[in-house]
Amino acid sequence: MKIDFSGSALKWLWLTILFLILDQVTKHWVAGTFELYETLPVMPYFNLFYTHNTGAAFSFLADQGGWQRWFFAIIAALASGLFTYWLAKTPASNKVLGIGFALMLSGAIGNLIDRVLLGYVIDFLDFYVGTAHWPAFNVADSVIFIGAALMIYDSFTNESTDSKK
């Protein structure tokens, strides 16, 4: 089976790999440099804060008995397969959607690696205003968000429809 990277958005897989490496390197750097729950103020409204998230977004289901580790790992694995399929089916000319899928794939794999190997996701980006903190997140979460935003943007600009003409 030959995979044609030139005709599909699979040509954006290099972004997946780049951000996957960035995600894993930053998580391992934080885990090796900080003590758990240690905070390093970087600038007003932003800290590096090392924490473990056994749940999903916003620590959803984090307080459960551990079953959520494999539940979220299965979801991330299925999402990774779906994003790869969509990349293969998206025309190379649709850059916005292709980049979006590549970024979401990277984030899904990055957090999947943590869940399977560690049982939790390493989070460390902490934005706040006053004493109100946004839940900590990581590079994988960031690229998932950016990828989803690109997918939504693409749906409003109709690039998918235009690229098939």
Catalytic site positions = 123, 141
* Strands 121-129, 132-133: pairing kind: antiparallel
Output the DSSP codes for the chain.
----SSSBGGGGHHHHHHHHHHHHHHHHHHHHHS-TT-EEEEETTEEEEEEEE-SSGGGTTTTS-SHHHHHHHHHHHHHHHHHHHHHHHSBTT-HHHHHHHHHHHHHHHHHHHHHHHHSSEEEEEEEEETTEEPPPB-HHHHHHHHHHHHHHHHHHHTHHHHHT-
Question: How far is it, in rounded angstroms, from Cα 18 to Cα 107?
Answer: 11
